[in-house]
Structure 1
Amino acid sequence: MDRQTPAVSRRKRLTPEREREILDATFDLVAEVGYQQATVDEVARRTRASTATLYRQWENKPRLVITAMRVRKYAPLPGLDTGDLRSDLVALARLLPEPHPSGAPALGIWQAVISDPQLAQALRDVLFAPYLDALRSILDRHVERGTIRADNPALQYAGTFLLGSVFVEKLFTGTEADAGQLIAVIDALLLPALTSAR
């Protein structure tokens, strides 16, 4: 028997209410001082939690911050099945994270993500993973229905087409892509690639 098993089982898990309290405090802190200046120690102080608890629950600062963003700003994704490939993709584009509102406190995430590999990984794993999973479900369903060829090479790049547009727009213009821009990418690039003949 693993001698560490009893210790693991004795760990006190956070209640949903306590977890939400910590995530709300994290989001508020980052909104106040920016991502770079926010610290796990300050979150612990504000919530009267131990830093050990925060690291055990969220592993590192990037995952804590991105989880707080997801919980505060983005509702769980609904199932998407309109019966039409373009309509499914457009519906997903409309659910993707909206641009940061003008005049709202700057979170500083975009500035930090380029130089912080852990933050970039947290963005992929925590914030964007549900959207990529939804995209994969849409594509798999339309492959089964024959709308998309199973051997279409564009399938493996669909996530880059769609979510990559968010990052490219920010890099090139300094603004975040909105749903209209993502839908334009779908119509001009992604949809033709997915439905092209051999």
Structure 2
Amino acid sequence: MDEQAPAPSRRKRLTEQREREILDATFDLVAEVGYEQATVDEVARRTKASTATLYRQWENKPRLVVTAMVARKYPPLPRIDTGDLRGDLVALARSLPAPHPYGAPTLGIWQAVMADPGLAQALRDVMFAPYLDALRAILERHVQQGAIRPGNPALEHAEMFLLGNFFVHKLFTGSEAGPEQMVDVIDALLLPALTADR
């Protein structure tokens, strides 16, 4: 089936309870059959919803599945402001979502992402956007407070310093990048680059 959204139409907001039912059903379906085999049609059948409703609300299968995964497995990101640049970066690193939380189905998301640009975009837009926004807010605050020089070129690469390591670490080592690994990257690379001319 075509997993892309039909032509846009006026969006009718689902109730919070109904949205939760659909996201729960989506998560359970993908946990059962895997990301590749799950379809929007089957979610619609299980929830007695129309596919048009699902597409209006979530646009496509990747966004629906990622939203369901985030809703089930990851708590909201709290505001981070420790009063210290390193403290803020460490707090953010320790709050990054683990790709494979203990005891939770992996859903096949991380295996499928390399071959599915729509899934990669959904991960950026739904899962990682709050963390990227938080990082930008941290950097902007510490520029204003004088801990980072305005125009420091490391500001443009901070996302790759932090999140790039988060994804590449497993490729090179075979293991997930845990919180302490992320803190090591902050101390060895990101923090010195941000404060080099201070």
TM-score, normalising length from structure 2? 0.90
- How much does 1:69 deviate? 1.2
- How much does 1:105 deviate? 2.9
Deviation string, structure 1 residues 65-123 (Cα, Å, up to 9, x no partner): 11111111122221111111010011111111024145643311111111100001011
Residue number in structure 2 paired with 1:4: none
Residue number in structure 2 paired with 1:24: 24
SS of the aligned residue for 2:44 comes to helix
Residue number in structure 2 paired with 1:100: 100
Residue 188 (1) aligns with residue 161 (2): no
The residue type equivalent to 2:33 in the other structure is V
Higher alpha-carbon deviation: 121-130 or 22-31: 22-31
- Do the aligned residues in 2 keep the contact of 1:98 with 1:179 (CA within 8 Å)? no
- How much does 1:24 deviate? 1.0
- Do the aligned residues in 1 keep the contact of 2:148 with 2:195 (CA within 8 Å)? yes
Task: Measure the CA separation in 1 of the matches of 2:170 and 2:120.
Answer: 15
- Do the aligned residues in 2 keep the contact of 1:99 with 1:178 (CA within 8 Å)? no
Higher alpha-carbon deviation: 67-76 or 148-157: 67-76
Aligned residues: 190
Q: CA RMSD for the aligned pairs? A: 1.6
Name the CA shift for 1:100/1:183 in 2 (closer, same or farther; >3 Å). Answer: same
Deviation string, structure 1 residues 155-183 (Cα, Å, up to 9, x no partner): 01111111111210232234321211111
- Do the aligned residues in 1 keep the contact of 2:73 with 2:104 (CA within 8 Å)? no
The residue type equivalent to 1:61 in the other structure is K
SS of the aligned residue for 1:38 comes to coil
Residue number in structure 1 paired with 2:157: 157
- Do the aligned residues in 1 keep the contact of 2:170 with 2:177 (CA within 8 Å)? yes
- How much does 1:35 deviate? 0.9
The residue type equivalent to 2:89 in the other structure is L
Task: Measure the CA separation in 2 of the matches of 1:190 and 1:168.
Answer: 16
- How much does 1:12 deviate? 3.4
SS of the aligned residue for 2:43 comes to helix
Task: Measure the CA separation in 2 of the matches of 1:173 and 1:181.
Answer: 12
Task: Measure the CA separation in 1 of the matches of 2:43 and 2:99.
Answer: 25
Residue number in structure 1 paired with 2:76: 76
Unaligned runs of 5+ in 2: 1-8
Residue number in structure 2 paired with 1:55: 55
The residue type equivalent to 2:79 in the other structure is G
Higher alpha-carbon deviation: 168-177 or 139-148: 168-177
TM-score, normalising length from structure 1? 0.90
The residue type equivalent to 2:52 in the other structure is A
Unaligned runs of 5+ in 1: 1-6
Deviation string, structure 1 residues 4-43 (Cα, Å, up to 9, x no partner): xxx83xx532101100111111111111211111111111
Task: Measure the CA separation in 2 of the matches of 1:100 and 1:146.
Answer: 37
Deviation string, structure 1 residues 109-165 (Cα, Å, up to 9, x no partner): 111111100001011111000000000000000000000001100001111111111
Paired-residue identity, %: 77
